[in-house]
Amino acid sequence: MADFCPSVPSSCDCFVSLPPASAAREVIFGKNSDRPKDEVQEVVYFPAATHAKGAKIQCTYIEVDQVEKTHAVILSRPAWLWGAEMGANEHGVCIGNEGVWTKEPVGEEEALLGMDLVRLGLERGRHAHEALQVITALLERHGQGGPCKEEPTPFVYHNTFLLADRTEAWVLETAGKFWAAQRIREGARNISNQLSIDVDITAEHLDLRQHARRQGWWNGEEEFSFTKVFSLVHQPVRMEAAKARYCAGRQLLQQHSGQITASTIMAILRDKASGICVDSAGFATTGSMVSVLPLDAHLPCIHFLTATPDPSRSVFKPFVFVPGITPFPQVQAPRFGDKDPIRESPRFQSRVDRRSFTGERHKIQECLQGLEQQGLEAMKNLLAGSFTPKPQELADLFVDCVNAELKFYK
């Protein structure tokens, strides 16, 4: 799609399009999850649930207080952890996160991962702003930290988030327990592995500016720019590479402004020239997601997930929240209980095979893309009211697409 030549990338990109950038009256969310190349990413569904008063929930490393009710969620996540790289809930909220490094030091002490905060926001937020409030409250109370890879050598980062619902989007950027947020009400926006909120700050940590003054990062007189104040003077290589991806992603959105559809975002996520679709020696795009959130609340939100690595060779399979979702164990990793390396002490001293299935790819690309196109056409007809599928057909939708794809691998 584009001719860009960034440095070798090693992390993620998130995108959102709102009218008038979108071709139709819909918000479109998309994300690539770029993770260690041999890491398994699974897609999991959790129904809405009620919980006992005073209950706790075990996240990846720490426990937090559980809430009385949690929303149904679909998640794409590294198979070894509790949280998620990206996902959506039954109310049409989508969230994705990115790793960043700032002037606030990252600590190896175990706390909440950014991926835990993605899941907690989806399970507890009925709209994007409420999910943001959930995340920031948990961040301020518990902090963020702990290994972000399934390896004994620590790999730790802080996080930025893109949150969207049917009416608006939010960019949330963090540095330790401190944060700033920007509301997006129209147009298109993207984030990569760098801070991007300048002076247009909609909400922030109550002590954000005072903390920056105490640290000597801001004199209190200049206009406060979150990016300028909290960004490292000397950026890590991976964040320098992210600048090129961020600029490339923004340019691709601008090129298609006013005509952006789900297919547009899928094509951007598949763009290897820009580095947005990653296939390097150490990191790769291990999962991708695109969601269509109609402004008309009577229409269903439709979420497309690959559940397989490399979107340039994968099929985006549709999922719709309805009662009685048919399970899809084919794209879920095996469980190891107390013998899982993350549950042993010390952690990550051994490796387990988390792959759910394997298969050689032959000359099936055209057939797979045809399968995806069928899903996109069905989405258009559904949102246009051309046909009304039976509830069970929607409940079976994602698993049917998974099974159809698997037949090509056999």
What local confidence, expressed as pLDDT, does residue 177 receive? 97
Catalytic residues: 12
Report which of 258, 252, 292, 306 is spatially closest to residue 275, judged by C-alpha positions. Answer: 252
What local confidence, expressed as pLDDT, does residue 157 receive? 93
Predicted TM-score (pTM) of the model is: 0.92
Tokens (6 digits) for 55:
């209950």
Tokens (6 digits) for 323:
């009662």
Distance CA 344, CA 10 (A): 28
- Rounded to the nearest angstrom, the gap between the alpha carbon of residue 16 and the centroid of all alpha carbons in its chain is 11
What local confidence, expressed as pLDDT, does residue 315 receive? 94
What local confidence, expressed as pLDDT, does residue 149 receive? 93
CB 247 within 8 A of CB 191: no
Q: How far is CA 181 from CA 82, 101, 140, 279, in A?
A: 25, 17, 14, 31
What local confidence, expressed as pLDDT, does residue 4 receive? 32
What local confidence, expressed as pLDDT, does residue 410 receive? 66
State the alpha helices, DSSP H only, in 37-188. 114-124, 128-142
Distance CA 274, CA 252 (A): 9
Tokens (6 digits) for 119:
């899941």
Tokens (6 digits) for 307:
């559940």
CB 356 within 8 A of CB 333: yes
pLDDT in tens, the chain (410 residues): 433 333 444 568 999 999 999 999 999 999 999 999 999 999 999 999 999 999 999 999 999 999 999 999 999 999 999 999 999 999 999 999 999 999 999 977 999 999 999 999 999 999 999 999 999 999 999 999 999 999 888 889 999 999 999 999 999 999 999 999 999 999 999 999 999 999 999 999 999 999 999 999 999 999 999 999 999 988 777 677 788 899 999 999 999 999 999 999 999 999 999 999 988 778 899 999 999 999 999 999 999 999 999 999 999 999 999 999 999 999 999 899 989 999 998 999 999 999 875 444 445 677 778 889 989 999 999 999 988 899 999 999 999 999 988 887 76
What local confidence, expressed as pLDDT, does residue 405 receive? 85
